[in-house]
Amino acid sequence: MITVALPKGALLKESVSRFLGAGFDFSDVLAPDNRQLMVSSKCGRARALLVRNGDVPVYVAYGQAQLGVVGYDVLKEHQMPVAQLVDLGFGGCRMSVAVKSSSSYQSAAELPPHCRVASKFTHCSREFFDKLDLPVELVHLTGSVELGPITGVAEAIVDLVATGRTLKENGLVAIEDLFYSTARLIGHPLSLRLDRGELQLILDSMSEKANLQNSL
Q: Does residue 174 share a domain with residue 122?
A: yes
Q: Does residue 105 share a domain with residue 77?
A: no
**Beta partners for 38?**
49
Q: Does residue 133 share a domain with residue 193?
A: no
pTM: 0.91
Q: Does residue 87 share a domain with residue 11?
A: yes
Q: What is the pLDDT of residues 175-187, one digit of tens each?
A: 999 999 999 999 9
Contact, 4 vs 47, CB < 8 A?
A: yes
**In sequence order, which residues have a C-beta less than 8 Å from that of residue 29 and are 6 or more positions away?**
6, 12, 16, 36, 39, 48, 50
Using DSSP's 3-state secondary structure scheme, residue 32 falls into coil
Q: Does residue 111 share a domain with residue 158?
A: yes
Q: Does residue 87 share a domain with residue 32?
A: yes
Residue 215 has pLDDT above 70, yes or no: no
Q: Mean pLDDT check: name the lowest of 41-50, 125-134, 141-150.
A: 41-50
Q: What are phi and psi of 75, to 5 degrees?
A: -60, -45
Residue 20 has pLDDT above 90, yes or no: yes
Q: Does residue 56 share a domain with residue 22?
A: yes
Q: What is the CATH number of the domain that holds 174?
A: 3.40.190.10
Least Cα distance to 59 among 206, 182, 188 occurs for 188
pLDDT of residue 54: 93
Q: Does residue 169 share a domain with residue 140?
A: yes
Q: Does residue 186 share a domain with residue 136?
A: no
Q: Does residue 61 share a domain with residue 15?
A: yes
Contact, 153 vs 30, CB < 8 A?
A: no
Residue 60 has pLDDT above 90, yes or no: yes
What's the chain's Rg over C-alpha atoms?
19
pLDDT of residue 36: 84
The domain tally of the chain equals: 2
pLDDT of residue 44: 74
Q: What are phi and psi of 76, to 5 degrees?
A: -70, -35
Least Cα distance to 54 among 5, 117, 20 occurs for 5
Q: Does residue 85 share a domain with residue 101?
A: no
Q: Residue range 86-90: average pLDDT?
A: 94
Q: Residue range 113-130: average pLDDT?
A: 97
Comparison of pLDDT for 49 and 36, the residue scoring more: 49
Q: Does residue 188 share a domain with residue 85?
A: yes
Distance CA 91, CA 209 (A): 15
Q: What is the pLDDT of residues 132-143, one digit of tens each?
A: 999 999 999 998
By residue range, what is the domain housing residue 58? Answer: 2-91+182-215
pLDDT of residue 180: 97
Least Cα distance to 3 among 62, 54, 53 occurs for 62
Q: What are phi and psi of 27, to 5 degrees?
A: -65, -15
CA of residue 130 relative to chain centroid, distance: 22
